[in-house]
Amino acid sequence: MHLAQILSEVNWLAVLAATVVAFLLGGLWYSKALFGNAWLQEVGLTEEAIKNSNMFKTFGGTIVLQLIAAVAMSALLGMGSSWQAGLHTGLWIGLFWVATAYGVTYLFEQRSLRLFLINAGYYVVLYALMGTIIGAWS
């Protein structure tokens, strides 16, 4: 299948919604209300360092990358999917591709289990939500 055909079958409204939800989930997940303080501690950053970073680059890059992931999820699910298929696909991607990739990297980098659970957990929930949204609108 050609890229143009794949992109012509993408539900762009679902992709946009999934991208926004992904961005909002990240804001909540890494906030002080959930795992923000633990994440800062584990990665060795301070709130001051975050405030002094290039937030346009960080947030802009995040949105673009989440959009690409949502387009890929839409292409993978295809037309005529369901929210259940999207949920299952998202869980498989989050658990068995992303979390395992993080796991291998974290083992070699000797990072903590706590950081693994924060970061990998985010992607499991993210892709489950993204798949559910896109699957429901297919």
Tens of pLDDT, residue by residue over 10-43, are 999 999 999 999 999 999 999 999 999 999 999 9
pLDDT given for residue 120 in this prediction: 98
Q: pLDDT per residue over 54-90, tens digit each? A: 999 999 999 999 999 999 999 999 888 999 999 999 9
| CA neighbor of 105 nearest in space, from 88, 90, 89, 123 | 123
- Name every residue whose Cβ is closer than 8 Å to that of residue 87 and which is 6 or more positions away in sequence: 128, 131, 132, 135
Whole-angstrom distance, CA of residue 91 vs CA of residue 46: 32
pLDDT band at 5 (very low <50, low <70, confident <90, very high): confident
* Total-model pTM: 0.91
Q: Is the pLDDT of residue 8 over 90?
A: no
Would you give the DSSP letter of residue 97? I
Residue 3: per-residue pLDDT: 78
- The reported pLDDT for the residue numbered 1 is 62
Report how far residue 74's alpha carbon sits from residue 133's, in angstroms, rounded to the nearest whole number: 10
What is the number of other CB atoms lying within 10 angstroms of the CB of residue 131?
A: 29
d(C-alpha 82, C-alpha 60), whole Å: 30
Cα 28 versus chain centre, distance:
13
What backbone torsions phi and psi does residue 137 show, to the nearest 5 degrees? -100, 10
How is residue 97 written in tokens? 């591709």
Domain locations in the chain as residue ranges: 3-136
